[in-house]
Structure 1
Amino acid sequence: MRSFQNDYSEGAAPEILAALVATNDEQTVGYTEGDPHCERARQLIREACGQPDAMVEFCIGGTSANLICVAGMLRDYEGVICTPDAHIATHETGAIGACGRTTLATRDADGFLSPEECERVWRFQTGTGRHMTRPRLLYITDSTEFGGVWTAERFDAICDWAAEHDCKVYVDGARLGAALESPANDLTLEHLAGRADAFTIGGTKNGMLFGDAVVVRDPELRRDFPYLQKERGGLMAKGRLLGVQFSAAFEDGLYWRLARHADEQALRLRDGMLELGYEPYLASPSNQQFFVVPDAVGDAFAEACGCETFLQMPDGRRVIRFVCSWATTPESVGELLALARTLRRDGC
């Protein structure tokens, strides 16, 4: 059975791999500094975002991009407000703390950062003046860690709160394609780009071998990004490989087609699991799907398709995650649903 562990187990989408092969013998300058592929990718991304003057840079992956952006948008006495499940607070090995910045977690439990919880954290952190870390940045993910998709209304509400409190907004778009191509989405890339101070466009989790693009409007980050990227070990000598991939992805809408396919297969999986009586954990209209199952069922799925346990419930059951990618086929989804049917029939 194919793995449903994540959306980056495969290599690259054929069109992107073909572009890398076709340009393999070229000689270009390094470090993404003026080679034609990176310049073309920057132009295409600016056009897609409706931000002709935005800085567009390329990082090797999401953690590198998050580290550089958070470090560049904050001073060392300032902190970033995020949900407790945020990637920067859980799965990045203390990278934000190691660069001298502080994560300030809310109590939001559904993956969405709320103005109400931001206000609570703000009041607590600023109540004693200079004796506490000052909040200055909001970190959100789209799609969320639980596959949720930000609506335009929800996104505007959090951006409005940030503006009222002199905070910046950073969007981790590791799965931005899946979010914006979700049938539940009404937020456009242009609208997001016009309000966020910086955001990423994930390539690693949407058909590329590696790489995330970073779009920056914030003046401080624009100034410091090149130096922070080099200092933090995030500057790639063969930078054109990033430009080749993003050019191929954005030249004719390939990026969005790959994400749409991943969503479609995940929603087929979701509908099939619901028909079989499996209990969903939160509502996910994107390429990640979460279900609450007994330990024995979780073990069976993990052995068969590598799905991961995300949470342990108070009643002893667990929340498991299935992820679909650009390479997930309807046949693979059907095979997984057949196993799910067998497990229900056998009473596991």
Structure 2
Amino acid sequence: MHLFRNDYSEGAAPQIMDAVAACGGEQSVGYTEGDAHCEHARELIREACGCPDAMVEFCIGGTSANVICLSGMLRDWEGAICTRDAHIIVHETGALAACGRTSLPTDDADGFLTPEAAERVYQFQMGTGRHMTRPGAIYITDTTELGGVWSRERFDAICDWARGHDLGIFLDGARLGSALTAPGNDLTLEHIASRVDAFYIGGTKNGMLMGEAIVICGHGEHAQRLREAFPYLQKERGGLLAKGFLLGAQFEAAFEAAKGSEALYWQLARHANECADRLRQGLVAAGLDLYGNSTSNQVFVTVSEDQEARLAQAAGCETFYVLADGRRVVRFVCSWATAAEDVDELLGLVRELA
């Protein structure tokens, strides 16, 4: 059976593989510096973001992107306000803390950072002056850890709050493709670029071999600090790929669209979302309860312990939580490579287990 463990189990979409293979015999300057593929990819991304003066850089993966950007935005005595399930807290082995920066979690429980919860953390941290880590930025993700998609209203509210407190804004876009092509989404790449200091466009989880495109688009104090520090931190923190032109070639293929057609990046994300929606509807029809607020390529449902074991063995799904009543929250993830037949095969198994 097709595995639904994550959206990076397959190598890469054929068009991406072709792009990498095509530059296999070329000689290029290393480290993403000046090669034709990276430079063209930068221009394509600036155009897509509506931000012609953005600094666009390419990093190996999400953890290094988060650590480099937050380290560059924050000073030694500052921390990043985030939700308690933020990736920088629960899935990066303390990488940010190891670099001397602090995560300041709120009590938000659904993956969305709210102004009200952020304000409580801010006031607490500021209460005793120099004896506490001072908030310096906020960290948000789109999609959230539970697959939620930010609405423009909710996004603008937290950005307004952060600006009102003179905090930097960083958005983790590991699954940004899925978020911006999700049903009902009203955010755009251009709007995100107009509000945050920096964000990244995830490639690893959207059909590429690896890689993330970091976009530093702001011009305030936090963005300027990051612009200056980024080249040095990227090298120091192990996020700079010697064969950087391979990252550029992938993003070049992903964002270069034929006239009148949608760029491959969005096509791949949209397909994953469509498969997830098919799966979501089928799971509900089979009698399972959805968990959380996902409308993206991640699907969360509650199952019994026996169902959990059977589904994990057959489809590779992961268990995220064990609820107080003993039910398990399991996650299925669709990718660019998921087919409708794969979804239907899984649903057949679920119906047998229901």
TM-score normalised to structure 2 length: 0.97
Corresponding residue for 2:331?
321
Q: Distance in 1 between matches of 2:273 and 2:184?
A: 11
Note if contact 1:137-1:167 (Cα within 8 Å) is conserved in structure 2: yes
**SS of the residue 1:238 aligns to:** coil
Structure 1 residue 315 displacement after superposition? 1.0
Give 1:245's match in structure 2, choosing from 239, 242, 250: 250
Identity %: 67
Q: Distance in 1 between matches of 2:264 and 2:347?
A: 28
Corresponding residue for 2:309?
299
Corresponding residue for 1:194?
194
Question: For structure 2, which runs of at least 5 residues remain unmatched after alignment?
Answer: 218-222, 258-262
Q: Distance in 1 between matches of 2:287 and 2:102?
A: 42
For residues 235-286 of structure 1, what are the alpha-carbon distances to aligned partners after superposition, in whole Å with 9 as ceiling and x for unaligned? 1100000000000000010000000000000000000001111011012110
Which letter maps to 2:21? Answer: V
Alignment map for 1:188-267 (pairs within 5 Å) = 188-217=188-217, 218-252=223-257, 253-267=263-277
Which letter maps to 2:91? Answer: H
**SS of the residue 2:39 aligns to:** helix
Structure 1 residue 316 displacement after superposition? 1.1
**SS of the residue 1:170 aligns to:** strand
Q: Distance in 1 between matches of 2:184 and 2:91?
A: 27
Q: Give the stretch that moved more between structures: 31-40 or 274-283.
A: 274-283
Q: Distance in 2 between matches of 1:152 and 1:168?
A: 18
Structure 1 residue 98 displacement after superposition? 0.4
Q: Number of matched residues?
A: 344
Which letter maps to 2:340? Answer: P
Question: 2:41 aligned with 1:31, yes or no?
Answer: no
**SS of the residue 1:309 aligns to:** strand
Q: Distance in 2 between matches of 1:273 and 1:233?
A: 41
Q: Distance in 2 between matches of 1:290 and 1:129?
A: 42
**SS of the residue 2:110 aligns to:** coil
Corresponding residue for 2:319?
309
Question: 2:52 aligned with 1:52, yes or no?
Answer: yes
Q: Distance in 2 between matches of 1:81 and 1:89?
A: 11
Q: Distance in 2 between matches of 1:84 and 1:111?
A: 8
Q: Distance in 2 between matches of 1:146 and 1:285?
A: 10
**SS of the residue 1:248 aligns to:** helix
Alignment map for 1:92-241 (pairs within 5 Å) = 92-217=92-217, 218-241=223-246
Structure 1 residue 190 displacement after superposition? 0.2
Corresponding residue for 1:88?
88
Structure 1 residue 317 displacement after superposition? 1.1
**SS of the residue 1:120 aligns to:** helix
**SS of the residue 2:300 aligns to:** strand
Q: Distance in 2 between matches of 1:296 and 1:17?
A: 39
Question: 2:350 aligned with 1:340, yes or no?
Answer: yes
Structure 1 residue 130 displacement after superposition? 1.1
**SS of the residue 1:296 aligns to:** helix
Q: Distance in 1 between matches of 2:96 and 2:238?
A: 14
Structure 1 residue 290 displacement after superposition? 0.2
Note if contact 1:177-1:255 (Cα within 8 Å) is conserved in structure 2: yes
TM-score normalised to structure 1 length: 0.98
Q: Distance in 1 between matches of 2:351 and 2:264?
A: 34
Q: Distance in 2 between matches of 1:8 and 1:324?
A: 10
Structure 1 residue 184 displacement after superposition? 2.2
**How well do the aligned residues superpose, as a CA RMSD in angstroms?**
0.5
Question: For structure 1, which runs of at least 5 residues remain unmatched after alignment?
Answer: none
Q: Distance in 1 between matches of 2:176 and 2:84?
A: 20
Note if contact 1:149-1:184 (Cα within 8 Å) is conserved in structure 2: no
